Amino acid sequence: FAIEAMLKIIAYGFLFHADAYLRNGWNVLDFTIVFLGVFTVILERISLMESALLSGQGGFDVKALRAFRVLRPLRLVSGIPSLQVVLNSIIKAMLPLFHIAVLVVFMLIIYAIVGQELFKGKMHKTCYYNGTDILATVKHEKPAPCSTSGHGRPCIIPGSECRGPWAGPNHGITHFDNFGFSMLTVYQCISMEGWTEVLYWVNDAIGNAWPWIYFVSLILLGSFFILNLILGVLSGEFTKEREKAKSRGTFQKLREKQQLEEDMKGYMDWIIHAEIIDSDRTRGEGMRSSDEGGSETDSLYEIEGMNKWILFFRHWRRWNRLFRRKCREIVKSKIFYWAVILIVGLNTISIATEHHNQPDWLTHAQDVANRVLLALFAVEMILKMYALGIRQYFMSLFNRFDCLVVCTGILELILVEITSMSPLGISVLRCIRLLRLLKITKYWTSLNNLVASLLNSVRSIASLLTLLFLFMVIFGLLGMQLFGGRFDFDDTEIRRSTFDNFPQALISVFQVLTGE
């Protein structure tokens, strides 16, 4: 990375003229990451030298600086224009998002104060056994607030009473006793992480008559309304940045290429039809000239020494063109359309009849049906290949997908016959049969349009998903630096949400992102 930065500085200059290295924001990001990396390496060397001189004592603690290494994946952004568009949109949206954040803070303050006035000191009573400090709970049930008056939760376990003191739910951090914890509880509810439990605890403490108004309005305003405001701001900024990128011609070549491919599909039909017409016209003119008394063609055959095999080949080409044209008409006909729909329907019924402990005769019937349906799908594929031509057939992404599904089905049949795979591997291949159901999208226009819209949406958010994964990697590595080996509990339960290695850290970050 340092060599790359040096070469760019030599090529572009460092700072004091137009188009210099540090005049580009993405180069500033790269240079900052490289500088921090080099600085960390130098401090590590100095720390090792001082540690050696002082016999293992002293030296700098560079662990905090090592955390900056996790920023290195951000260098990927400087090389991919689509990621730059997304990140620019987020940066440009910071000011509008700041205004929304101020609105959120004011709303948090208002609801925290209202919650403090309504529910202060109400969450510190629970059920104890009479005369003891032992919590009275049902097996596998956590303690919850209770009430001695009103419509709150009574203590129903024999020999128990509702009294305090009790720290409160979540080890005493979920309550409305002061402004700080009230803000924390309101923020927890806005994140929609366990807000229903907070509602139920308040209901247990004071009754279920009015608290639901407080919490439902909080969720509607704080979660749904604010979230849609944030999404609207980000969507607007992304649209602006994408339009700027299009005007600069970043996506112009890609759009032209896609348009060219669509035009080529239509031109191929016209070219094949024109070849057939031209061939028939040429043969007709040759036959007319022979009928008019001229013998130039016959003499030409004799001079060139053309034999019967060449004549046979020419006749075969003519009949091949005619037959391909007929096959092309067949694969585009309504009868063929409904035949494929019927085969897909029979395939769906065959798959849907499988169940646990099914009789042997049904298993045999399903196997026969699979072979017959696979043969029909293979015939359909071969017929379309012959009618359209190999090149034009594979120009369609759906036809490539169809060919993959059919070839996988044939491979599964061969592997089952030679019994060279484990039952689990064969079961995985059998799952690919389900993909045959997607064949209906090719022939069902409205469904095909819906799938095309979905795929276009996936392409549109691909760069956003890539940036999201990039940040997941960064925070996973940062979690390993900060929390690796720190999740040390007394119980022997194997915990998956840790930061001890990269796969577990990535899963933990994903779990946090889902809000679960």
> Is 26:87 a contact under the CB 8 Å cutoff?
no
Between CA 508 and CA 108 the distance in angstroms is 28
- Tell me how far the alpha carbon of residue 196 is from its chain's centroid: 29
Between CA 71 and CA 213 the distance in angstroms is 45
> Is 220:190 a contact under the CB 8 Å cutoff?
no
| Backbone phi and psi for residue 269, each to the nearest 5 degrees, phi listed first | -60, -45
Between CA 492 and CA 489 the distance in angstroms is 8
What is the residue type of 430? R
Coil vs helix vs strand at 329? helix
The greatest distance separating any two alpha carbons of the chain, rounded to the nearest whole angstrom, comes to 128
**Residue from 437, 435, 254, 443 nearest 334 by CA:** 443
Between CA 44 and CA 335 the distance in angstroms is 75
Between CA 428 and CA 414 the distance in angstroms is 15
Between CA 235 and CA 509 the distance in angstroms is 24
> Is 108:186 a contact under the CB 8 Å cutoff?
yes
> Is 87:73 a contact under the CB 8 Å cutoff?
no
Q: How far is CA 443 from CA 303, 334, 373, 451, in A?
A: 54, 10, 18, 12
DSSP code, position 496:
S
Which residues touch 426 (CB under 8 Å, ≥6 apart)? 412, 415, 416
Which residues make up each annotated binding site? 193, 516
Which residues make up each annotated binding site for Ca(2+)? 193, 516
DSSP percent split of the chain into helix, strand, coil, nearest 5: 75, 0, 25
Phi/psi region, residue 485 (left: phi>0; alpha: psi -120 to 50; beta: rest), is left
